[in-house]
Every structure is written in structure tokens, then in C-alpha cells.
Structure 1
Amino acid sequence: MEKQKLGPPTDRVTIRHVAEHAGVSVAAVSKVLRNAYGVSEALRTKVENAIDLLKYRPSTAARAMRGRTYTVGILVVELTNPFVPVLLEGIDAGLAEANYKAMVGVGRAASKLETSMIESMIDTRMDGLVLIGPQISGSVVAHYAKQIPIVAIAHHEPQATLYDTVNSDDFAGAQMAVEALASRGYSDIAMLSYDRSDSPSSVVAVQREAGYKAAMAAIGLEDKTRIIRHPHPSEPRAKELAALLASKDRPRAIFAWSDLDAIPLLAACHEAGVEVPGSLAVIGYDDCSLAGQPAVSLSSVNQDPMELGVRACELLLSRIEGREEAQHSAVPPRVVLRRSV
């Protein structure tokens, strides 16, 4: 007699239920879950159909029963941003207190490299992952969150149910930056951002641009709203900065989406002989360590990277312990005014 396939059980669905329903081995299901190399489309379809029908989700508790490694993977898009080391300090402080160690990988804003590194961290049986500024979409993060606890920093996806997020309140921070410029008497305020055509909607720039627009409208400057887009920060953009400063319609003040652009803008002003703030006022976002140096003195929005790291660590550890309900945390920003405005 042909063995009858199981329907959705009354107890928690396990990987064995999925394997039996799909008519494959547990190892085959595991390969599909890990998105392992060499999995055929036919096998993937069988397993994914069974997962959807049975509403299967890998148990964090089951992972723990197999034995923890007490290691956490941290994936960073790039390390050149001076904001990142302080963020890592916050994460590491929390991990050390819980006797966890961290391994850091750099994705370099390349989605294929990011996904490859996530898969490697899963394969090495890390207990959880922290993704900092991921360039992959929320759906891709959710795919991996079915396999391992994940917390994403600088990734706005408040509707996510399979993983947690920790962010600066980027919308409010951008509003505060515009209000700070307006309070100094500036009305021709533009925003310096970048070409986001290849970026997911979860990136922080989206929230900061929305906050900029809302603030300009709120103070009656909607008709002067202007977002200047340069190449992605990972690409050279010195020519674009020089052209901006030389243009006849150069704004009187600029809110840069990040210090990654604000500091090069100050350097370009110095090179072009544009007085700051006499001819151009500049405010950034991140308040990185360079912003506070006397020679730079950049006004910027501080997003408290240490607190971001601590909160991310707390959420990840509670995920590892078995919490399943998603949590999304926002850290209030503050404006730090210096000579650039």
C-alpha cells in the first residue's frame, strides 16, 4: 500500500514532516533551506511547496538543542564608514557579557557577495547574524531568517515578521537637520543623496529623503525642495562635487544624507575656495569621529551607534534564546551643531 503523506500536524511542524510530505530526505530539505549549491529546481519546488502548505519554520530551540557554537556573524556592507567601528563596539560589548564571540565579514555592497557570506555563516553553524546596512531586499533577509536568528541594523522593514531591526529614527533625524538649517536663517536648502536605482527600499537614505521633504513642506519651503543625486558612495564622485560647487544654481545650504558625502563635500569646498558656512552651509548625518575634529567641524545628526549596537545585540540574544515575535527598535537621533552651519 502506498504510504499516505502527512497533512499539517496538530503539533509543531518539524523538518521531518516537511521531508515526508515532499517525499525526500531530511538532508535534502536542509539543503534547500540553506540554499546550498547544486539543488535542482524540481527538488526546490517540492520542498518549498511542502514548507508553504505545512507552514514550517525552523525552530530556534531545535538549533539550540543541537548545540550552540557561541559565535555570532556580523556582516557589514563596508568598513570605510567611521560610524561602523563604534557600532561594532556596542555589539561586541553585549556579546562579550554573554560569553559570545563575533566573526565579521564585509559584503562590499554587492548582493551576491552578501548572500554568499550569509550562507557561509549559516553553514559554519553560527548561532545568529547581525546585518549592518544590508543591500539585499527584505524578502531575501526573511528567507535566511527562516534558518537562523537575524537582526538587521540600518535596514527599514517595520513589517518584517521573521527578523528584528534596529535603526536610527532616520525620518526624524532628517527633519531635525532641515529645521536646524532653517533656524539659522537658511531657506534655499537642498539634500545631497545618491543614485538609489540599484538599492532596496529598506536603505536608510529612503527615510532620510522622506524626512527632508516633510520638513521642507512643514516650514513652507516645499517649492525649494531639491534632492541632488550623485553616484553611490562606493563609486568616485569628485567630479560631481566639483560641478555642484561650480553650478550657478548652487543651493545656499546642503543636508547630506551621510557624513560619507558631507565630509568629501567640505573637502571639495576647501579645494574650490568655497567658504563654509559663508557661501555654503553643510550638515551631515552619522556624526562620525571625523566630524568632530577641529579641522573638519561638521554639523551632523548623531544616531548613537553604541546604543544601536547594544540594542541589536540584546535582540539577537533573545532571538537565540527562542523569542519568535519580531521587534523593531528606533533610537532617537540628535543634532550636533558645529562651524559648518
Structure 2
Amino acid sequence: MSGIRKRSSGATLRDVASDAGVSFSAVSKALRNAYGVSDSMRLRVQASAERLGYRPHAAARGLRGKTFTLGVLVSDLHNSFFSEIFGGVSDTASMAGYQAMLGVGQVQPVVENAVIDAMIDRQMDGLLLVAPSMSPADLEIVAEEVPTVVIGVHLPHATSFDTVNNDDETGARLVVRHLQEQSISDIAFFTLAGLPEARGTTLEFRERGYRDEMQLLGLQQHIQVVGASMDSGEIRSAALRLLSGKRRPRAVFCWTDYAAFEVIGVAKELGLSLPEDLVVVGYDNTPYCALPQHSLTSIDQFGQLLGQQATRLLLERVAGRTSPEHFVVKPTLVTRDSTVIIKPSVSSNL
């Protein structure tokens, strides 16, 4: 046992900042006895921390030294693409003598915050957040307390944490352009619904790429965006409404392969033939796409590479780097039988 007591109240630095009426950075500095903090500020913060039962674990971690563990937060376990990212993280961390520990945020900011607080309590040296739903402001708060790298949120101007992303806008444009080259113009976009509104998400950029490319190609009258949560039943219900409605599209571009497989299942139940009656395209190019029963055309955003690069940046942060870095991977369209390939010689790259 380390002798460091756990937070009995569950209070966080955010709670202390709110109680003391000061900024998060002021709390962090006061609890570290940093230079430039007045005595009155320090006493006020310490009083709030004591009243709330908060233990300054970040300071204790500094006294203990490194734990050689990295916390990895993923939004859910439905999306098999996250396992590819985690594989890249785990391999890279292991080579550097670190252990990656996985936590699930369930696409809920409250749960995400609880997982992150638990990882900080356990003295993890850095955090890698994969597609978090929390706001940019909350990400800044986390990064002030522990070295942080974020995958799946486009915030190129962030200074306190690094980002690693696929070029989601380009990926969506590749899909629309590919389908238009197959003489398909009525293309719907199937997205994730029910998330708190947050800027810079992959969903925002993929939908933007879809809309912009549709308009560029003169197909704006066919723009149709539908969505559902990651729940299988809700995806199937939304797909059923879309495919049995009066405005059934010729093609459905899904924000992730997981949703695309459900759409394919509903289409077959309705007696639709793929790709003759309906074309489906996914995003992530997970291993299941290559299975004969799916043969799903999808955007490859190189999950292993995303995980490797994010871990590299996080280890640099842990070692002391403070200047921000923002790494972007160029996506590739992998065509399979779920789309009508009329012109196989046409390049799918922008």
C-alpha cells in the first residue's frame, strides 16, 4: 500500500475550483505550491479541498515518481475499430516499458469524468482519450492535471494536449466521389445521434465532408442525414425507417462499419439486393469488412497507426514535452462488393 488515501467524497479538482471560486489552473498551482500564488489564494483553495475531502493526487504522484501506466479511455466497446487503436497503443507502450489500462466512457460525459478521475487517482502517468464526448474546455482541464493525448477530436489549436486524427472530411469526400463515379447520386449519410453537442468531433467533420462534396457535385437535393445511437436495436429501427420510407436512397454512407453491418442486415430482411438495389459504405475498414458475407467498401483510417502515434506523443508528454503536436492520417477508400464498381481503373484518392 502506498499510504495515499482515496477520495472518500469523490471530489475532483473541478469541484475544488468551483467551491473556491477560482480557475482550475489556480487550484492546480495552489495545491502544488507553485510560484506566483498568493497566500490568500492558497489558503482558500486548501480550505475548499479540505472541506470537500479532496486529496491532491497529482502532487502525490510527483513524489512517488512514475507508475509506468497509461490510461486509455474509449467511448464504447461496440465499435471494433477501437480494438485496433488499442492494439497500437498497447504494443507501443509495452516497447517503452509501460502498461496500457483500458476504461470505457459509455459515450456519456459523466461516466467519462468518473473514469478519468479514477485513472488519475491510480497515479497513471498519462491519459489517451479516444473519441471522448466531453467539451474542449473539459479536455483542457484534464490536460492541466495529467499529460493527455486525444484521438478523434479535431482541435488543431489546442495547446495543452496533443491530437491524433484521421482526415475525416477527406474520407467522407472520397466516399461521395466514389459513389458519384458509379452513377449514384441519391446518397444518405447515417450518423451517430444523441451525443452532447461538442465541437471538432469526427462526426462533425464526416458530415461536413459529405455535405460539401454533395453540393460540389450538384447533388444537394439528395442530401439526407439520419442517425441513431450505438444501440443495435436503435440502429436497425432507424435503418428500417430509412429503407422502407418514400425517400429510400440508392446508397447509404455510414459513419462507422458497425452501423453499416446493421444497415446491410435490415436491407436483406426487406428483400433488397446489394449492390443492385442498395449500396452501403462504411468507415474504419475493420477486419469484418473483408468477410465474404459483408464484403463492405469502407474508409481505412489505419487504427494501429493512430494508436501508435498517439502513444508516441503521450510518452513524449510524460517525458516533459509541453509544445503541442497535432498528427493527421490521410484515409484511403477500400472498395469491395457492397458498391457497384463500374470503373475499377478510377483512382479513389483525392
5+ residue gaps in structure 1? 1-11, 40-57
Deviates more, 1:79-88 or 1:188-197: 188-197
Whether the 8 Å CA contact 2:131–2:201 is kept in 1: the answer is: yes
Cα deviation for residue 85 of structure 1 reads 1.1
Of the three residues 314, 334, 337, the one matched with 2:335 is 337
In structure 1, the residue corresponding to 2:298 is in which secondary structure?
Answer: strand
Cα deviation for residue 147 of structure 1 reads 0.6
Of the three residues 93, 99, 118, the one matched with 1:101 is 99
1:142 paired to 2:160: no
Q: Which amino acid aligns with 1:15?
A: N
- Find the aligned partners of 2:150 and 2:280 in 1 and give their Cα distance: 29
Q: State the partner residue of 1:15.
A: 33
Cα deviation for residue 234 of structure 1 reads 3.4
Q: State the partner residue of 2:71.
A: 73
For this pair of structures, how many residues does the alignment match? 305
Q: Deviations over 1:212-261 (max 9, x none)?
A: 01111222212322212x32223632222112111121011111111121
Q: State the partner residue of 1:173.
A: 171
- Find the aligned partners of 2:91 and 2:44 in 1 and give their Cα distance: 41
Cα deviation for residue 27 of structure 1 reads 5.7
- Find the aligned partners of 2:90 and 2:47 in 1 and give their Cα distance: 35
Whether the 8 Å CA contact 1:137–1:202 is kept in 2: the answer is: no
Whether the 8 Å CA contact 2:78–2:230 is kept in 1: the answer is: no
Of the three residues 128, 131, 142, the one matched with 2:129 is 131
- Find the aligned partners of 2:52 and 2:244 in 1 and give their Cα distance: 51
Q: State the partner residue of 2:18.
A: none
Cα deviation for residue 15 of structure 1 reads 2.7
- Find the aligned partners of 1:88 and 1:227 in 2 and give their Cα distance: 30
Output the TM-score relative to the length of structure 1: 0.83
1:24 paired to 2:21: no
Rate the CA distance shift 1:105–1:291 in 2: closer, same or farther, 3 A: same
1:232 paired to 2:229: yes
Whether the 8 Å CA contact 1:19–1:26 is kept in 2: the answer is: no
Whether the 8 Å CA contact 2:61–2:123 is kept in 1: the answer is: no
In structure 2, the residue corresponding to 1:157 is in which secondary structure?
Answer: coil
Cα deviation for residue 88 of structure 1 reads 0.6
Cα deviation for residue 38 of structure 1 reads 4.8
Q: State the partner residue of 1:248.
A: 246
In structure 2, the residue corresponding to 1:146 is in which secondary structure?
Answer: helix
Rate the CA distance shift 1:217–1:291 in 2: closer, same or farther, 3 A: same
Q: State the partner residue of 1:42.
A: none
Cα deviation for residue 203 of structure 1 reads 2.1
- Find the aligned partners of 1:143 and 1:123 in 2 and give their Cα distance: 15
Output the TM-score relative to the length of structure 2: 0.81
Cα deviation for residue 28 of structure 1 reads 5.8
- Find the aligned partners of 2:298 and 2:52 in 1 and give their Cα distance: 45
- Find the aligned partners of 1:224 and 1:180 in 2 and give their Cα distance: 16
In structure 1, the residue corresponding to 2:43 is in which secondary structure?
Answer: coil
- Find the aligned partners of 2:105 and 2:307 in 1 and give their Cα distance: 18
Q: State the partner residue of 1:273.
A: 271
Q: Which amino acid aligns with 2:33?
A: I
In structure 2, the residue corresponding to 1:236 is in which secondary structure?
Answer: helix
Q: State the partner residue of 1:160.
A: 158
5+ residue gaps in structure 2? 1-28, 340-350
- Find the aligned partners of 1:150 and 1:157 in 2 and give their Cα distance: 13
Rate the CA distance shift 1:117–1:297 in 2: closer, same or farther, 3 A: same
Cα deviation for residue 183 of structure 1 reads 1.2
